[in-house]
Amino acid sequence: MNWFGAEIDGPMVVARAVHFAATATTAGALMFRAVVAEPALRSDGKTGVVVDRRIRDLAWAGLAVALVSGVGWLLLQTSAMSGQTCGEVVVSGALITVLNETQFGLVTEIRFVLALALAICLAYDRLLLPRWLALGAALCLVAAIAWTGHAASTPHKLGYLHLTADALHLYAAAAWTGGLMSLPLLLKAVRHDRAAARTELDAVRRFSLLGMTGVATLVLTGIINAWILVGSFRGLIATDYGWILLLKIALFCAMVGFAAVNRFWLTPRLALPGNALRNLTRNTKAEIALALLVFAVVGVLGTLHPAAHLVK
């Protein structure tokens, strides 16, 4: 497939994009539960239980999609590395070679174990320790993605900075994504509650704080990553990698625009009569659509040679 003149491997991009979005949703939902839902609904027993269950279901759905897409990604990656088809790699031993002798394979094995641990913890979610372990496993599942990408192959000490920035970038993306998916669930459940207004406001304010921290982190770590992978303005405009990165940044700015409207215009008007909640929910859905596009773009970016290596 040829887009912007770049050779793009369709199935690989789809597998990666779906896997990243699903992993971010699962981890982000659990982060949202810990930081927003639980504190906001502490005094709200019945609604709290409903929201808790819905968020857990969201985490389950994300994990299931992450597992299936993760297996697909592994097969496609092994196929690309070995030059064999997906069917051949299973019988030929190429899959074993990738799993045992490459960093990508090793990280995939570790992430698979983390996913299983997360599944077990979600099954025992009523108990306190599994809840914390689930959050921990999900955070590790997200951060480990950094070891499958460009940051993992940056040599020397710069590699450590790159991996750190990339892991933080992934956390922030997960928090924002998971929060976007979870907030409407919470708001809908709370609306049926008579003491709705204050809980609603508390939840939305907490989510805004999580969101703003996420945006700041994405910007800072994004700049560090771009400095390492693009390195120059010329790299940004003279390579496919640069143009696709610019597309990602444009989508990000659009998301921030919707988030700003939600935070500074609609949130203060939530307690008043009117369409604030409906508009907030509609904007959130727009943000989710943009986030999925960002994951699609990231699915492409990781398969391309970084601009810094092409442009002096």
Partner 1 sequence: MLERAEPRVGNKIAAPPREVTLWFTQKLEPAFSNVTVTNATGERIDTGKARVSGNQISVSLRPGGTGTYRVNWRVLSVDTHTTNGNFTFQVGQ
Q: What does the alpha-carbon distance between residue 36 and residue 190 come to, in Å, rounded to a whole number? A: 13
Residue 2: phi and psi, rounded to 5, are: -120, 105
Which H or E run includes 3? strand 2-3
**Neighbouring residues of 129: CB distance < 8 A, sequence distance ≥ 6:** none
End-to-end CA distance of the chain: 28
We find the least distance from the C-beta atom of residue 270 to partner 1, in angstroms, to be 44
Nearer to partner 1, 278 or 305 (CB): 305
69 binds partner 1 (CB under 8 A): no
80 binds partner 1 (CB under 8 A): yes
Nearer to partner 1, 76 or 187 (CB): 76
Among the candidate windows 102-110, 186-194, 257-265, 279-287, which touches partner 1 by CB under 8 A?
A: 102-110
Which H or E run includes 32? helix 10-32
Among the candidate windows 134-142, 198-206, 211-219, 302-310, which touches partner 1 by CB under 8 A?
A: 302-310
Interactions with partner 1, residue window 7-46 (CB under 8 A): none
The answer to whether 32 and 40 have CB atoms below 8 angstroms apart is no
Question: What does the per-residue mask of binding to partner 1 show for 180-209, with x meaning CB under 8 A?
Answer: ------------------------------
Residue 216: phi and psi, rounded to 5, are: -60, -45
Q: Which of 14, 90, 212, 310 touches partner 1 by CB under 8 A? A: 310
Nearer to partner 1, 14 or 276 (CB): 14
Amino acid identity for residue 170 in this structure: L
Q: What does the alpha-carbon distance between residue 199 and residue 63 come to, in Å, rounded to a whole number? A: 29
Q: Which of 92, 102, 213, 232 touches partner 1 by CB under 8 A? A: 102
155 binds partner 1 (CB under 8 A): yes
Nearer to partner 1, 215 or 300 (CB): 300
Interactions with partner 1, residue window 103-122 (CB under 8 A): 103-104
Size of the site for partner 1 (CB under 8 A): 26
Nearest partner of 61 among 1, 4, 113, 118, judged by Cα: 118
148 binds partner 1 (CB under 8 A): yes
Q: Which of 153, 191, 198, 237 touches partner 1 by CB under 8 A? A: 153
What is the DSSP code (8-state) at residue 85? -
97 binds partner 1 (CB under 8 A): yes
How many residues are given for the chain?
Answer: 312
Tokens (6 digits) for 73: 């990604």
82 binds partner 1 (CB under 8 A): yes
Q: Which of 71, 152, 220, 247 touches partner 1 by CB under 8 A? A: 152
We find the least distance from the C-beta atom of residue 241 to partner 1, in angstroms, to be 12
Among the candidate windows 111-119, 194-202, 278-286, 304-312, which touches partner 1 by CB under 8 A?
A: 304-312
Q: Which of 11, 136, 159, 257 touches partner 1 by CB under 8 A? A: 159
**Neighbouring residues of 289: CB distance < 8 A, sequence distance ≥ 6:** none
CA dist 210 → 38, 77, 85, 184, 206 (Å): 14, 34, 43, 15, 6
Q: For 33-102, where are the alpha helices, taking DSSP H only?
A: 38-40, 45-82, 86-92, 94-101
Nearer to partner 1, 29 or 98 (CB): 98
- Residue numbers of the site for partner 1 (CB under 8 A)? 77, 80-82, 97-98, 101-104, 148-156, 159, 302-303, 305, 308-310
